[in-house]
Structure 1
Amino acid sequence: MAEAKTVETETPTAALQRVPADASPALIKQIVDQDGGVILEEFFSRDQVRRFNEEIDPFMSELHAGPPDKVDLFEGFHGSNTKRLTNVVTLSKTFREEMIQDQRVLAIADELLLPVADSYQMTAAQVIQIGPGNKAQPLHRDLENWPIFRDLGPNTYNVTINFLTALCDFTEENGATRVIPGSSHWPDYQDRGKPADTFPALLNAGDVLLIDGKIAHGGGENRTADAFRRAMAWSFTIGWLTSEEAHAFVVPIDLVKTLPPKIQTLLGFRSFYNSSKEGGTLWQANYEDIAKYLEL
């Protein structure tokens, strides 16, 4: 495991730091708390990325680009030439059996989210493919899914993290995600920054851009003629917030029964407890864990 080191700069003025995939969760948390994110190099193997892409390719080919039936938080948020695929747990064996069950992922999520709540859930797992000519995404913070946290600003809890996984190499030309390191500490979260403030997260396939809910970021402009930038944004959030994706209603129960209890919790098939924070039990049936009702 990589040794923890002291991070000296409180408000960074350069691109996000990069650490090896086996960096300790404590070091990762230290960097994320300071910068708002970190790049985890070679987190998933090229073979895992290849198999994942092969599994979701048929479903991606059936999608139409653009957001005709979606309501954008900001104009252009979804992208005019961007495809977005959800329900990845069901569609990809590699994701549900290897990636989401990766003990490094769960250890990092534990480190960042358990101080806030006793358990957490996967709020979304979304493949995002930015096509040629797609303009840069408006800058935003992921916690804006729950607007009260935007209003509370930097002193609020960090309630969500995003393991943005590169499914191809990210370059400035093909739409690498843009980030503003240190924007998690800005006093006014209505201020999302300007494109000139951003740095591109240049990634190799299999690298992970791990960001918290407080950092301003957005997908970059794809300036190529024929290249597609594909990534998977999969996010965890504390258990007492409503998830972006309704996994409990779209993932087949027979598939859920093959997964470990912690993964069932991530998908909303087990109740949420918050006893260490003197909070109540949520998402239950007859005052018992929903897993009993579902016979898990």
Structure 2
Amino acid sequence: MTDTTTSTPTATIQRVPADTSPAEIKSIVERDGGVILSNFFTVDQVRRFNDEIDPFMTDLEAGSPDKVDLFEGFHGANTKRLTNVVTHSSTFREEMIQDPRILAISDEFLLPVADSYQMTAAQVIEIGPGNKPQPLHRDLENWPIFRDLGPSGYNVTINFLTALSDFTEDNGATRVIPGSSHWDDYEDRGTPENTIPALLNKGDVLLIDGKVAHGGGENKTTDNYRRAMAWSFTIGWLTSEEAHAFLVPLDLVKTLPPKIQNILGFRSFHNASKQGGTLWQANYDDIAKYLEL
């Protein structure tokens, strides 16, 4: 078991300008597990995004749909989660997911592992008053083999956690254990005492890798809702969390650039540079031809 009291190399989450080079961003994340990108999205973009998804958020019930205790604890009894954001928000699909900085950072992290990558999930997460802290976890645990491989395994996913409201320690700011990506035992997710809050302003992005232990914080307020969007990319040969290829209307997909179509699962995954095969095909050809993209 890792000594969590001595293995954290930094007690803070480094904050850098949004235009920091992808290589420097990757270096910081590989060291600490995460980095804050200041003012990444504009106040206007956040406002328009919130306006677009507000009606869908209003219609949602808080908590896990099946009300099973195991999932309710993770999802949050007073937390709303909106998926299929590509369909719901034109600001997201036309500006945010196509932002050249997002794609350059994702390229930097994921193309060394695979020839293309996909968006595994994009979820608006709104933590309501009184919600308990989320259990600490690592995002790579969606694919347990990488948990078993520990720090020596590939880093197969990154998460652009975008603040849609200000994050404070009282309203549920995401808690992170910097350096936990280097622990020998990934079954050790640390304790709340090991965590520090990611204090964000609207439009800031907390970029974390799949190896760092983290979790949503406790909302100790009586009337403050902490809203964020967690949107993650993962290498193309892993199954994504959201089935975007069955959720996003094809007519809408046809308005998007080829790289974004690929990210959403509407084009085949090729891995020739890694001496791998082509996946997600139709008649041994790119699925895009079958879909007439």
Taking structure 2 as the reference length, the TM-score comes to 0.96
**Distance in 2 separating the partners of 1:204 and 1:72:** 32
Find 1:15's aligned residue among 12, 15, 19. 12
Following superposition, the deviation at residue 71 of structure 1 comes to: 5.8
Residues 128 and 232 of structure 1 are in contact (CA less than 8 Å); yes or no, is this contact kept in structure 2? yes
**Distance in 2 separating the partners of 1:133 and 1:45:** 29
Deviations 1:73-130 (CA, angstroms, capped at 9, x unpaired):
6660000000000000000000000000000000000000001000000000000000
| Unmatched tracts of structure 2, length 5 or more | 1-6
**Distance in 2 separating the partners of 1:74 and 1:227:** 23
The residue that corresponds to 1:76 in the other structure is: 73
Q: Which moved more, 1:188-197 or 1:75-84?
A: 75-84
Find 1:176's aligned residue among 173, 176, 181. 173
Q: Does 1:94 align with 2:91?
A: yes
Find 1:221's aligned residue among 189, 211, 218. 218
Residues 64 and 72 of structure 2 are in contact (CA less than 8 Å); yes or no, is this contact kept in structure 1? no
**Distance in 2 separating the partners of 1:265 and 1:217:** 29
Find 2:233's aligned residue among 199, 220, 236. 236
Q: Does 1:192 align with 2:189?
A: yes
Q: Counterpart of 1:212 in structure 2: which amino acid? A: D
**Distance in 2 separating the partners of 1:73 and 1:150:** 20
Find 1:143's aligned residue among 140, 143, 152. 140
**Distance in 2 separating the partners of 1:245 and 1:75:** 19
The residue that corresponds to 2:4 in the other structure is: none
The residue that corresponds to 1:5 in the other structure is: none
SS at match of 2:273: helix
Q: Counterpart of 1:197 in structure 2: which amino acid? A: N
Following superposition, the deviation at residue 15 of structure 1 comes to: 1.5
Deviations 1:154-192 (CA, angstroms, capped at 9, x unpaired):
100000000000000000000000000000000000000
Q: Does 1:291 align with 2:275?
A: no
Following superposition, the deviation at residue 147 of structure 1 comes to: 0.6
Following superposition, the deviation at residue 72 of structure 1 comes to: 7.0
Q: Which moved more, 1:13-22 or 1:227-236?
A: 13-22
**Distance in 2 separating the partners of 1:206 and 1:196:** 27
Residues 74 and 138 of structure 1 are in contact (CA less than 8 Å); yes or no, is this contact kept in structure 2? no
**Distance in 1 separating the partners of 2:115 and 2:68:** 32
The residue that corresponds to 2:105 in the other structure is: 108
Aligned-residue RMSD, C-alpha: 1.2
The residue that corresponds to 1:32 in the other structure is: 29
Q: Counterpart of 1:164 in structure 2: which amino acid? A: L
Q: Counterpart of 1:186 in structure 2: which amino acid? A: W
SS at match of 1:211: strand
Residues 72 and 78 of structure 1 are in contact (CA less than 8 Å); yes or no, is this contact kept in structure 2? no
**Distance in 1 separating the partners of 2:74 and 2:285:** 40
**Distance in 1 separating the partners of 2:69 and 2:51:** 29
Q: How many residues end up aligned between the 2 structures? A: 287
Following superposition, the deviation at residue 68 of structure 1 comes to: 3.4
The residue that corresponds to 1:208 in the other structure is: 205
Following superposition, the deviation at residue 13 of structure 1 comes to: 2.9
**Distance in 1 separating the partners of 2:106 and 2:231:** 12
Deviations 1:248-289 (CA, angstroms, capped at 9, x unpaired):
001000000000000000000000000010000000001100
Q: Counterpart of 2:275 in structure 1: which amino acid? A: E
**Distance in 2 separating the partners of 1:63 and 1:74:** 17
CA 48–88 in structure 1, closer or farther in 2 if over 3 Å, else same = same
Q: Does 1:259 align with 2:253?
A: no
- Percent of aligned pairs with the same residue? 83
| Unmatched tracts of structure 1, length 5 or more | 1-9
**Distance in 1 separating the partners of 2:66 and 2:115:** 36
Q: Counterpart of 2:111 in structure 1: which amino acid? A: L
Residues 37 and 212 of structure 1 are in contact (CA less than 8 Å); yes or no, is this contact kept in structure 2? yes
Following superposition, the deviation at residue 70 of structure 1 comes to: 6.3
The residue that corresponds to 1:282 in the other structure is: 279
Following superposition, the deviation at residue 11 of structure 1 comes to: 4.7
Q: Counterpart of 2:74 in structure 1: which amino acid? A: F
**Distance in 1 separating the partners of 2:136 and 2:123:** 18
**Distance in 1 separating the partners of 2:92 and 2:72:** 31
